[in-house]
Structure 1
Amino acid sequence: MNPLSSSFPTIKRPPAPGSGEAPIYGKTETPGSGSSIGAILVHTGRLSAENAERISRLQLDEGKRFGEAAIELGLLTEDDIQFALSRQFDNLYLPADDSSLSRRLVAAYQPLSNTVEKLRSVRAQLMLRWFKPEARQKMLAVMSPGKGEGRSFVAANLAIVFSQLGERTLLVDADLRAPCQDKLFKINNKAGLSTLLAGRTGAEAIARISLLPGLYVLPAGPIPPNPQELLGRPGFAELLQSFARDFDIIIFDTPASSSYAEAQMIAAGTGSALLLACKNRSSVRDITSLARDLDHTGVKLVGAVLNILPGQQK
């Protein structure tokens, strides 16, 4: 019997706002459009409920805007107000002084940067070529031949820009050799893909990123001694089907394909791959070989990205 089938419950979509249902993936998402500035700031811990009441009293007594009253009382800064306004207009980013996530998540911290604009361009092409509603395609593996070529960086930031588009997005850290999405999003890695496949945990392994509404991350979990065998179990296919039922976009971070066979096992499961090449690091021979191998296994190569970003991303 497949151990996953008895231990992994069907993932339900998070409840609609105002439905009265309790969320299943951790905390309720940050209030956005339709919420008051005060409610957003209280929810995100920038303002206490007591101080929100003080601001409201001054606002009513003197006919001021909430932000004006808050700054006059010295309880909030202009940056706090801009943060709340961005949430009201669904322009979801994190302010520079917020250390909740890794700075490598540029789509969360630097929405106007050239790097993020290029990520949005990749997103647009994927929406046109692959994630079209009529095609019912939802999954994508980010792949490259070698180590240090930027797969984790690209996968994480692509997941963020898709969630900013309003897509219910799941990022899966399927690199069971050297995972890092838990470090980028600063989430617990005691449970994840490995424990799901081993039948030891259920949907609670999926983390809701409350600061980025619509984004969920499944970390890799503890590094197993047998990643190929885990991913080769029938339970992996069942897990993918469950993801496809409950999320709009599912992006997989993968290990280096030239070193570990499970990278192509993941791609075969998702049915599609985004090929990543790193300038001055990836060889044409290795990229060509990977593209040929994907074609031979029936995996749709939906596009290629040249990573010229600085640093030593995986």
Structure 2
Amino acid sequence: MDNANNSALPVDRSIGQIIAETNNLSPDQVEKIVTYQRENGVKFGEAAVALGFVEKGDVLWALAQQFHYPYAASAGESISEELVVANEPFSDPAEFFRDVRSKLLNGLNSTPTRSAIAVCSAGVGDGKSYFAANLAVAFSQLGSRTLLVDADMRTPRQHEIFGLDSNGVGLSGILSGRAESNVVRPIPALQSLFLMPVGVIPPNPLELIQGRNFDILINELLNKFEYVVVDTPAATYGADARVIAAKCRASVAVARVGRTKAAEFVALEKSLKLGGNNYLGSVLNQFKE
């Protein structure tokens, strides 16, 4: 390759450069950091934190920038602390979701038909919406267009988790024929991630889900997005989750330690396995109140 082509290649900045520039560190501060770094055998970011010039979050943000990794450190308070994959992308919980993402991808790739993933749970409070939200963030961090659909038209939470106002436009409007546009909302802090909220909570959610419009919608979304994650109502509300899972063609079940009742979860798994979809497995939420 000749010199002209070499000069056109982008040059990645070091972590130190990013930290210094974004935090307006003076040459004297940088010199002190480098001295501390050499004397203690630590990385630039660790030295900067130890000297009190920056915070740990500043270092994580710089690391994310170097690797072009979506990170919500500058998202403000609109993004919930529940979104650990966005707020703490290098933490153990975030690594857990990336591991789950890899396993789910293997399951999705095992069938020739593209599928959305329905996230289900036996009861309310099992962590289903938390799991669906973080899973969607994890998929979006692959750099592919990802859509999170809040199909829990009983107790919707996704608009709250992502800090979006409930403007009355969403999934229920599409399924009832009352909305045609502006139902997919981009998440400003997270590139490649979009959310379709519930909108107005309808009096007949199961009828809307069972209608043909939901089949058409899922197929259209799979043509527009690389990954589609669907939050569903808890199975305690009835057949909603099972119906949604069958139309999404893939599902995963979430159980929570000390909360999910074994018999109810077994019944949920059985209904998903017999529901005509690709049951991808179960996830145990170990969070305890």
Same fold (TM over 0.5): yes
- 1:131 Cα deviation after fit: 4.0
Deviations 1:115-141 (A, max 9, x none): 111111101101112246x73423110
Question: Quick one: distance in 2 between partners of 1:118 and 1:128?
Answer: 16
Q: Which residue of 2 aligns with 1:180?
A: 157
Indicate yes or no: 2:78 matched with 1:100. yes
Deviations 1:37-66 (A, max 9, x none): 9xxxxxxxxxxxxxxxxxxxxxxxxxxx98
Q: Which residue of 1 aligns with 2:218?
A: 240
Question: Quick one: distance in 1 between partners of 2:60 and 2:137?
Answer: 20
Q: Which residue of 2 aligns with 1:125?
A: 103
Identity within the alignment, %: 35
Question: Quick one: distance in 2 between partners of 1:209 and 1:265?
Answer: 28
Q: Which residue of 2 aligns with 1:154?
A: 131
Counterparts in 2 of 1:111 and 1:68: CA distance versus 1, 3 Å: closer
Query: Counterpart of 2:144 in 1: which secondary structure?
Result: coil
Aligned length: 249
Is residue 149–residue 277 contact of structure 1 (8 Å, CA) maintained in 2? yes
Q: Which residue of 1 aligns with 2:67?
A: 89
Is residue 131–residue 138 contact of structure 1 (8 Å, CA) maintained in 2? no
Is residue 35–residue 88 contact of structure 1 (8 Å, CA) maintained in 2? no
Indicate yes or no: 2:211 matched with 1:224. no
Counterparts in 2 of 1:254 and 1:35: CA distance versus 1, 3 Å: farther
Counterparts in 2 of 1:210 and 1:231: CA distance versus 1, 3 Å: same
Is residue 141–residue 274 contact of structure 1 (8 Å, CA) maintained in 2? yes
Question: Quick one: distance in 1 between partners of 2:60 and 2:130?
Answer: 27
Deviations 1:281-314 (A, max 9, x none): 1122112111211222212211110011245xxx
Q: Which residue of 1 aligns with 2:35?
A: none
Higher helix share: 2
- Structure 1: gaps of 5 or more residues: 1-33, 38-64
Question: Quick one: distance in 1 between partners of 2:235 and 2:20?
Answer: 53
Q: Which residue of 2 aligns with 1:67?
A: 21
Q: Which residue of 2 aligns with 1:194?
A: 172
Question: Quick one: distance in 2 between partners of 1:80 and 1:276?
Answer: 33
Question: Quick one: distance in 1 between partners of 2:237 and 2:60?
Answer: 46
Indicate yes or no: 2:92 matched with 1:114. yes
Q: Give the TM-score, by structure 2 length.
A: 0.77
Indicate yes or no: 2:117 matched with 1:140. yes
Question: Quick one: distance in 2 between partners of 1:256 and 1:122?
Answer: 21
The equivalences for 1:201-216 within 5 A come to 201-216=179-194
Deviations 1:209-253 (A, max 9, x none): 121111000011111111111112211111011101111110011
Q: Which protein is bigger by CA-based radius of gyration?
A: 2
- Structure 2: gaps of 5 or more residues: 1-9, 14-18, 28-52
Question: Quick one: distance in 2 between partners of 1:255 and 1:213?
Answer: 27
